[in-house]
Structure 1
């Protein structure tokens, strides 16, 4: 398989039609169809069910797409870097983070760099959000300069620089009966409709361990981002139990952030590709991330990377 085939496949998956993919890629419809057909022949299975001009991805196409898209991001980075080298430009910063950190801590850290003056801020920044697993994948494959992700992150091939810790919080509507309380106890949460994370290997697991069965925790809604949880709470659907970055970094009018009487730590790590020298803008950005976290997250504590297994 070649880049031409993969780009055609990704475009059809995204746009839903061969004609639209051709327009987006600047190719003819027959050329895109041929690229897809060649790819299917090489793979030995169909990627799309065809019904006239419309196509429907097969189950195998969805499984393949995630890997293809990650690979294309890396190839595009290589292409961009090759052009930058030709123009003798400084290497841009490629930063990937989980949604909570990409929308709060990362921009705040970049703002600190910008405030330090023109020479401190990179000429170009690529900032994107991804799941924790995708952040790890990008750093392992060296397509990014720096990754910010929730823990655990014990993969070989990563340099974990430090661990950030801050207590999780509850977010409720200002008119909710719990909004007037100083801290929310297990008893206060008993019987409440709870909205929290769906990934049981990260924050969700710590929420359940801390609150336990004795509190009769009723998880009415689980979701993949804290922002979704907070917006569900804003709609009156329950109490959002979330990490603090989104709660404090993206305040929403009409919503109140409440501390929890029980400690539920949120852990995140700052990672770079293993063995790759950290210097210049990347080094300054790591320091700026710490400053931003201290400013944004109430109760922030910086932990040594060596404590990873002990903390978890």
Structure 2
């Protein structure tokens, strides 16, 4: 398979039609069709069900798409860097973070190091914790920010941040007038929280269950989704504090919990890769940004990972 085939496949997956993919790529519709057919012949299985100009991806196409996109991002990065080297430009920053961190401390940290001379180009992308790890392991990014645990080999963990989780309720909720929200107050409430049971959700269930299961009405994959569901009056959001405090929304109250449920996050780079001055400054600025946003922020040494988690 070649780059021409992979770009055609990615464009058709994204746009949903061969004609539209051709327009996006600046190619003819027959050229895109042939590239897809050649890729299918090489793979030995169909990627799309055809119905005129529109196509429907097969299950195998969806499985392949994520890997192809990661590869294309890497190739585009190489292409851009090669051009920048030719122009004697500073290497861009490639930063990937979970949504809560990408939308809060990452922009603030970039602003803090701006005076030290940022590269002309900055790539900031949000992804799941698992995708952050993948990107750092494959060295397609300069730096990653992710929730913990993160015990993978091939990563340098620079420091661990900790801050207590919070409850987010509508301003007209009776809980909005409470100084703290206790576990007993949450029983009988519709709870909105995270779906990943191997990260924050496990700690929430353990700390607040009190022998009784919480009434989890809505499970979601991002804190912002949970917070906006609370804003719509669908329940009480139990979330990490970064999104709740870093992206304040009118009409909502962020309340501390009586029981401490720690949210842990960390800064990682590829193992053994020397960090340039900008990356080192950014690692320090991320700590400053976290302290500015989070109440009760505590910094831990990376060596404490297993002890904490």
Range of TM-score over shorter length: over 0.9
CA RMSD of superposed structures (Å): 0.8
Alignment of 1:45-124 (within 5 A): 45-114=45-114, 117=115, 119-124=116-121
Distance across 2 between alignment mates of 1:215 and 1:75:
51
Distance across 2 between alignment mates of 1:300 and 1:279:
27
CA contact (8 A) 1:187 1:215 kept: no
Gaps of 5+ in 2: none
Which residue number in structure 1 is paired with residue 4 of structure 2?
4
CA contact (8 A) 2:183 2:209 kept: no
Which residue number in structure 2 is paired with residue 36 of structure 1?
36
Shift of 1:70: 1.1
Distance across 1 between alignment mates of 2:78 and 2:61:
25
Shift of 1:123: 2.1
Which residue number in structure 2 is paired with residue 18 of structure 1?
18
Alignment of 1:182-261 (within 5 A): 182-261=179-258
Which residue number in structure 1 is paired with residue 272 of structure 2?
275
TM-score (normalizing by structure 2): 0.99
Shift of 1:213: 4.9
Match of 2:134 among 128, 134, 137: 137
Which residue number in structure 2 is paired with residue 150 of structure 1?
147
Which residue number in structure 2 is paired with residue 304 of structure 1?
301
Extract structure 1 runs of 4+ deviating beyond 4 A: none
Distance across 2 between alignment mates of 1:71 and 1:177:
50
Gaps of 5+ in 1: none
Shift of 1:31: 0.6
Query: Residues 3-56 of structure 1: CA distance to partner in whole angstroms, max 9, x if unpaired?
Result: 111110000000000000000001110110011001101111100000111100
Aligned residues: 309
TM-score (normalizing by structure 1): 0.98
Query: Residues 136-175 of structure 1: CA distance to partner in whole angstroms, max 9, x if unpaired?
Result: 0000010100000001111111000010100000100000
CA contact (8 A) 1:13 1:57 kept: yes
Distance across 1 between alignment mates of 2:177 and 2:257:
13
CA contact (8 A) 1:171 1:247 kept: yes
SS in 2 for 1:126: strand
Distance across 1 between alignment mates of 2:102 and 2:55:
34
Shift of 1:215: 4.3
Does 2:167 align with 1:167? Answer: no
SS in 2 for 1:163: strand
Query: Residues 176-214 of structure 1: CA distance to partner in whole angstroms, max 9, x if unpaired?
Result: 010000111111111110000011111111111111253
Distance across 2 between alignment mates of 1:47 and 1:189:
47
